[in-house]
A and B are shown apart, each in its own frame.
Chain A
Amino acid sequence: MRHAFILQDIEHLLWLSKRADGGFRLEAEGRSHDVALCPDGRLIVDGETTQIWIAASGDRIYAHVDGEAHELLYRDPISRFAQNRDGSTERLLRAPMPGAVVATPVAPGQTVVAGETLIVIESMKLETAIQSPRDGIVETVHLAVGQAFERDAPLITLAEA
């Protein structure tokens, strides 16, 4: 089972192995490459050296190379393949961006239909209505109007279908 990274919304599979001489071999996109990352930020791929800046925060890796910064997300294999046919993660709606709550039109216990607005958030003067992914019953409204939150903060939990 290969490692998966998301770059620009596309999943890339790769594997890294150690060669007998201590160097690393990267298998990616059907090819094998000799790779090394020096502590001073030099990245060597098949003998070609590039200066790179790299920093990791959790499963997110930020790298500046060839004049641009990019974000890669490491996907843990178990979460990657969890289908949740019981809908367990679909029950929790998270904030797509940081911001503050503008309106909470639904209350716990309320029956909602797919597409119904569950919470309205504001971020950089831009209002976003978070809609229900399915028919269901609201279990928890995690935030009150005016409360600020970070990206991925829990907003609404729907009861089990």
Chain B
Amino acid sequence: MGFWQRVSQLDRRWIYLAVALAVIFPLLVPMKMKLGITPEARQLYEAIETLPDSSVVMLTFDYYPSTVAETRPMSIAALHQMFRKNLKVITMTTIPLGGPSMADRTMKLMGDLYHKTYGVDYVNLGYKANYTAVLLGMGSSIESIYPSDQYGTPLANLPLMQTVKNYDQISFIFIVADNGIVDNWISIVNAQFSTPMGAGVTAVMAPKFYSYVQAKQMTGLLGGMKGAAEYEMLVNKPAMALIGMDSQSLAHLLIIGFVIAGNVAYFATRKKKESKG
């Protein structure tokens, strides 16, 4: 059996092992590869950076625990910027499985880090079923959709919510999502209430949303772990996404190598088969 024939019949488990090693090695021995910042990520950062002090922003936790590697670093980096800039943050989720607990843990962690007071500097609205009705209803009254927050406190008792009645008082919406809910935020909230917004989405979703940025329906976009790492760089808080980017780059190089090797093996063995036949 020739070399290329052996390559074309390679047990796929060797490929899994090689990818695993390519991911693990840079975590043990950081390579600090260079990373550029895309205009879409910078636009999102600038949109929040230029908001006046004490502006109210909404940050959504519209993602499942399975995608936290890409999405959670975006939420954390966004909160670094929002709390550093002294913005008031309202958070919510449309995801039942894990959304409420991730929002709760992240907000408490970041709120404590920046010595922010719950109810005054930030509010966690929690989860509410039927996202279409939720997004539409908050346009007329947030309190009618969320009579109480994640912890059962009536909104009327939270100082921040006494000044925020609907989208009119929200300066920017930062959506972090791993599903099609971003479409609804754009087509319902941006289109009908003209609230400026930007999004951090998983890599699988990202290509679709560039058209919204081009059409100016969204101010900026973060795509996958790369987008999260870019935002960590912009807010100058390197963390999990930036750590993971060495692994990402090495794994991509490996996959490119596999794609080339697979194609060469295919054509080399086909040529041999044709000459034999």
Q: Do A and B share a complex?
A: no
Chain A residues within CB distance 8 Å of chain B: none
Q: Using a CB–CB distance below 8 Å, which chain B residues touch chain A? A: none
